[in-house]
Structure 1
């Protein structure tokens, strides 16, 4: 783990990273006051992956921003992809080094999972993450304490459409989104599934038609204290707030 972060820090991939940043125009969305207008924060876990660039293009076309929780070993393996996410104006969070159940690890491994990922993201993008999400959203006091030591606020979610279960059934994922999204929802999705990107392409016009602004977690919730926990792991009662669009 440390070797990967050192390799990136030493600049062996600096040229590729620099080129990637230069080639990805940032999202042009203007600052939004989520206390005055309806906002939703789409979050994407487990990348970067093979469908991330298509997702970035879709978000740019809609002037939308989102938060990407990246896995450290994937950032190390493809730093240029992580740089493109940052260069597109998206927020990047720490999704641990290898996506374990953090509540099963000894303290030194919890620390390494967070630190190695933050090191790789910072070396690749120039920005150290302030948000974290654990694999499966599993949290206990030891994980939160280590997150606090490393300056990380933990973000779970309000809406989970189970896109990893509904991979072959786009309509099922879309149905949960229609039913559960309300103002200031944090939505859990994954840019590791082509079908999830399909859902996003189809669903962004629905959100826009319903007056929603697509923002990052920090834009919507504001700065979060290190060691704090936002959200849960399950859906709450249906909101049924959205009106579908024709076609």
Structure 2
């Protein structure tokens, strides 16, 4: 009986080993899946079909401009949201993870709830081109995870701090499903803290442009009523970046204005 019991135990061990080893080898040898960025963009759009909310706007026909605000949310972001709501204007906010984490008012959630677009501007605003790949990934993923937890949406675009990008940054944004949104009109509001100067520069926007501003500066917020009124009189519609393109931008690709190819 002892011999038969030992033989049975050896048989069970052999069958178990034969059943698990090939699977382990197969899993270890399987290469990571490669997803075409355009396919990923379509998947993201299907996953969140109602965000940002679709509006009857056609930027191939209408005069559109995308106002974008970096580095927040900050102490003036709430006032900016009030101004945009009062004029039925939509914008895109490229937020810093550390600012979202420090915000006691839940402004990231308010940005999403009021129909604006929210994008990834890294966690702590370093030049991503100066970082090793694992740190680039951490800057983006940590911010994405926090914003997704607080708002329920996954960001589809990012803006590299200082506009600094290269092939490594592009590859990482592609992996994370984020398009790189740059700009065509810089108001230089970070340098010139005069609301009249900022408004005048924004007033020069042409149809299809992406305008760069920062919602952490009081003078920028003070410039917003004038620039909204002036551009509205010229027939402009204020849209999110996704509305400007009429489609989810392709992950990894750089965009600077409406004429950037994205097909």
TM range (shorter): 0.7 to 0.9
Preserved contact between residue 51 and residue 192 of structure 1 (Cα < 8 Å): yes
Match of 1:154 in 2: 180
CA deviation profile, 1:204-236 (whole Å, cap 9, x unmatched): 01111000000000001121111100129xxxx
CA deviation profile, 1:66-125 (whole Å, cap 9, x unmatched): 000000111122261211111111100000000000000001000000101111110010
Distance 2:116 2:57 in 1: 15
Aligned residues, how many?
205
Distance 2:86 2:55 in 1: 14
List alignment gaps of at least 5 residues for structure 1: 1-26, 233-247
Measure how far apart 1:28 and its partner are: 9.5
Distance 2:54 2:185 in 1: 23
Pick aligned residue for 2:228 from 189, 195, 204: 204
TM-score when normalising by structure 2:
0.75
CA deviation profile, 1:170-216 (whole Å, cap 9, x unmatched): 2222232233x100110000000111011111110111100000000
1:53 and 2:71 are equivalent in the alignment: no
Match of 2:144 in 1: 118
Distance 2:54 2:122 in 1: 29
Distance 2:124 2:56 in 1: 34
Distance 2:119 2:54 in 1: 20
Measure how far apart 1:155 and its partner are: 0.1
Measure how far apart 1:29 and its partner are: 9.0
List alignment gaps of at least 5 residues for structure 2: 1-51, 258-263
Preserved contact between residue 203 and residue 231 of structure 2 (Cα < 8 Å): no
Preserved contact between residue 94 and residue 118 of structure 2 (Cα < 8 Å): yes
Which structure's residues are more often helix, by fraction? Answer: 2
Tell me which structure has the larger Cα radius of gyration: 2
